[in-house]
A and B are shown apart, each in its own frame.
Chain A
Amino acid sequence: MDSAVFSLLGAFLLSIIGLFVFIWSLRKGLLVENPTAASVIFAHGEVGQVDDPALQGAAQASMQQAAKEGGLQAHAADAAELLDRISSDRSTAFPVFMFITFACMWLVVGSAAGLISSIKLHEPDWLTDYAWLTFGRIRTVHLTGVLYGWITNAALGMIVWLLPRLLRTRLYGAIWVMLGGALINMGIAGGIGAIATGWNDGMEYLEIPWQIAIFMFAGFALVILPVLYTLVNRKVSHLYVSVWYMTAALLWIALLFLVGKMPGVHTGVQQATTNWWYGHNVLGLWFTPVSVGAIYYFLPKVIGRPIRSYNLSLLGFWTLAFFYGQVGGHHLIGGPVPGWLITLSIVQSVMMVIPVIAFSINMGATLRGRMHLARYSPTLRFMMFGGLMYLASSLQGSLEALRSVNQITHFTHFTVAHAHLGAYAFVTMVLFGAIYFMMPRVLNWEWPYPKLITLHFWLAAVGAMIYFIGLTIGGWLQGVAMLDAARPFMASVEVTLPYLQWRSVGGSLMVLSHLVFVGHFLAMALRFGPGRAGAALFWPNEPQSTELGAAHGK
């Protein structure tokens, strides 16, 4: 049979399957909107109340006023459900605080290492006397520190905080979660130490020696099992979409890590495909679903309005689950790997447009007429920035996977810029927003210096944009120079130099923003700032609020 028959047959089968899916979705009522499901993140009567614990009482009141002008009416929320939420929060406070504290520490370590690596690329004779400071090692310390240390810890903290809330239950087995967290962080610390001394497994994203990775896997298992147990013992019948994203992400990362780190199984070219199956899935099936799930919770919660289309969010989930896992091969375009694999990955990379557009339409519609609230709410500001950058980075990624574009951008700094658009401008900003929302509930103390939040946001956002735009241009010019046989290879190096310097400028702003953030976090944890008897917890127009606040403060 020739390819024409194959493609005809394929198209026929696809349309039949599509037809069945359509009939099935009609029967399940998936094409009818489902506002009840979208509202499970609110207590009864809570819809219409803005909620951002990062704001002090007066600031939140003016935000509520601004929301009212847009037509939202607040009612008194069901006190019993709020009490449930408080007991959920109380059961997770300790483990969440532990994860976020580790995350903050690794953020400072990891981003400082990143800045050092960035400067080394245009000052190659700087700090060359010590092996652990050489570019190849400190760059990997940076990667391990921010990917596993910062993002993974912050994501775990957020999951552990959010799931009991969404399931209206307490966290079961908090002590095991904490033990798991301790093991994971021992693994990260050991891994970073090993990399700095020159002991690594030699594969990008999988550098942590497998002997040390055993601790991390055990840690993941100890976090996941109590979370699953909590899931089974939930008190709600409906699982909100964030629960889907986060539970699936937890299962995915554990299996990815297990298969990717399996010693002695993978070899040669197959090891390369496994390497990139893992490398891209860490972003696609761990960071992305966790962050998307976070936006699906925090954004509607802050503005007090359920997401516009709940079913669209489920479409986004399943398309992400099925397409994202197979995109890793686009890292090997032009390499010595089977052609069908590359083509499959390119196709699925382009298919990723579907979940991203579904997400963006949904968020845009939810925010309609509420965008101005970002002026009030720090959480919302971070979430909106992150969501927008998700759209940007994912669309860019789909384009970048096309052979014609990839030919230029492959092997250049363009890819590095893209990675930072995803992992920083999207994921990290979302995590910042989530931490600003969570910590007042966790520590029962308000952020002491609200102006620092604004400073943090602008330093990080401007830094990331300088970084991204500069390096994107530099990477593109590098790729064009490298493809021109008439120009010597060194031309592709020289052309990047000014952009590498801009990267260091952007990176410095980002590091500075992290110092502001972590300093603020420490000030909060050490109870600095104006003293308050308990945070201004729930909405003051309900009679129970003082009582509830006091209950939370115990």
Chain B
Amino acid sequence: MENEVKLASGAMVALGIATAALVVMPYMQVRDIKPPPQLKGYTSAQLRGREVYIANGCVYCHSQQPRDRNFGPDAERGWGRASVPGDYFYDKPHLLGSMRTGPDLFNIGARQPSKDWHLGHLYQPRAYVPGSIMPSYPYLFVVKDAKDAESEGETPLALPPAYGPNVGQVVVPTPQALDLVKYLQGLNHTYPVLPPAPKP
């Protein structure tokens, strides 16, 4: 082989085909998709929470793409119906994920709506799920004297006794923790979607 032009053009054609298949065709196929009517856009607090989710790399252990029944017991585990492209209408960037070191979170808001549970679980996962290997996130919380927190009007966490701070102190969530929990509570895609229209 003597010709560098052949080399470059061949290489570009190969990449062009791949790009057409994996980037351009999906773009044309999903660009006109409308969001399902019951899917609500994110509130600004939820969007901030989503940024916290991204910044701390939650996506590396939690997927957001329940699969169909013939792929696995996702529905039996309470993770919800198989997701469809429309469900991701407001997601920028996408957070489909590729690992399930922890459970799928696409419907965590429906499965676990409690704010207290989420806050406590972020502070110390093992207080709620024995044997969990999720990291604890103490840096999303502040430990304060109970009196100070009360005078500042903060709502401290209701932690199981063995996991709380020292006597006389309380754990108070930071705004980031509160936003993140709002995002998690909002992850609810349990509304029904129509199956794709039959081909004529």
Known: A131-B139, A248-B7, A335-B65. A271 touches B93 (CB 8 A): yes
A273-290 with Cβ < 8 A to chain B = 273-277, 281, 285
Sample of 20 A–B contacts (CB below 8 Å): A124-B126, A129-B139, A131-B56, A136-B58, A136-B61, A198-B56, A204-B98, A248-B8, A251-B8, A252-B11, A269-B26, A271-B92, A271-B93, A274-B26, A277-B19, A325-B14, A326-B18, A335-B96, A341-B21, A341-B22
Distance in Å: Cβ of B101 to nearest Cβ of chain A? 7
**Alpha-carbon distance A256/B18, docked complex (angstroms):** 11
Taking each of A120, A267, A329, which has the highest tally of chain B beta carbons within 10 Å of its own beta carbon? A267
Contact B54 A200 (CB under 8 A): yes
Considering the chains assembled together, what is the distance between the CA atoms of A120 and B126 in angstroms?
Answer: 14
Instruction: With both chains docked as a complex, state the minimum distance between the C-beta of B54 and any C-beta of chain A, in angstroms.
Output: 4
List chain B residues, Cβ under 8 A from A124.
Answer: 125-126, 132-136
Give Cα distance in the complex from A275 to B96, angstroms: 10
Among residues of A, the one whose C-beta sits closest to the C-beta of B5 is A232
Q: Is B21 within 8 A of A344, CB to CB?
A: yes
Known: A318-B10, A335-B67, A341-B25. A412 touches B59 (CB 8 A): no
Please, how many angstroms separate the alpha-carbon atoms of A244 and B91 in the complex? 40
Q: How far is the CA of A416 from the CA of B129 in the complex (A)?
A: 25
Contacts known (A247-B4, A341-B22); A331 close to B98, Cβ less than 8 A? yes
Asked if A454 is an interface residue, CB under 8 A from chain B, the answer is no
**With A136-B58, A272-B94 in contact, is A411–B85 under 8 Å at CB?**
no
Whether, in the assembled complex, A122 has its beta carbon less than 8 Å from a beta carbon of chain B, the answer is yes
Q: Judging by beta carbons under 8 Å apart, are B8 and A247 in contact?
A: yes
* Count of A-B residue pairs with CB < 8 Å: 229
Q: How far is the CA of A37 from the CA of B1 in the complex (A)?
A: 9
Q: By the criterion CB–CB under 8 Å, are B73 and A485 in contact?
A: yes
Beta-carbon contact of B31 and A325 below 8 Å: no
Nearest residue (CB) in A for B82 is A336
Nearest opposing residue in chain B for A204, CB measure: B98
Does any Cβ of A come within 8 Å of B99's Cβ? yes
Complex CA distance for A248 and B9, rounded to whole angstroms: 9
Q: How far is the CA of A388 from the CA of B7 in the complex (A)?
A: 27
Known: A321-B14, A411-B99, A412-B100. A139 touches B60 (CB 8 A): yes
Contact of B117 with A by CB under 8 A: no
Tell me, yes or no, whether A259 is within 8 Å of chain B by CB.
yes
Give complex CA distance A256, B23 in Å.
Answer: 11
**Distance between Cα atoms of A259 and B73 in the complex (Å):** 36
In the complex, the answer to whether B100 meets A411 with C-beta atoms within 8 Å is: yes
A134 at the interface (CB under 8 A from B): yes
Given A270-B31, A271-B93, residue A336 in contact with residue B18 (CB < 8 A): no
- Return chain A residues, CB-CB under 8 Å to B95: 202
Interface locus among A423-431, A489-497, A525-533? A489-497
Residues of B within 8 A of A237 (CB): 2
Chain B residues lying within 8 Å of A238, measured Cβ to Cβ, are: 1-2
Q: Would you list the 6 A-B pairs with minimal beta carbon distance, nearest first?
A: A136-B57, A325-B18, A198-B55, A485-B73, A277-B22, A411-B100
What distance in Å separates the Cβ of A60 from its nearest Cβ neighbour in chain B?
A: 32
User: How far in angstroms is the closest Cβ of chain B from A348?
Assistant: 9
Residue A135 at the chain B interface, CB threshold 8 Å: yes
Residue A392, interface by CB 8 Å? no
Interface residues in A469-492 by Cβ distance below 8 A to B read 482-485, 489-490, 492
Do the beta carbons of B23 and A134 come within 8 Å of each other?
A: no
Contact residues in A for B131 (Cβ distance below 8 Å): 490, 493-494
Contact B7 A276, beta carbon cutoff 8 Å:
no
Is A506's CB within 8 Å of the partner chain B?
no
Q: Mark B1-42, 1 if CB is under 8 A from A, else 0.
A: 111100110111011011101110111011101000000000
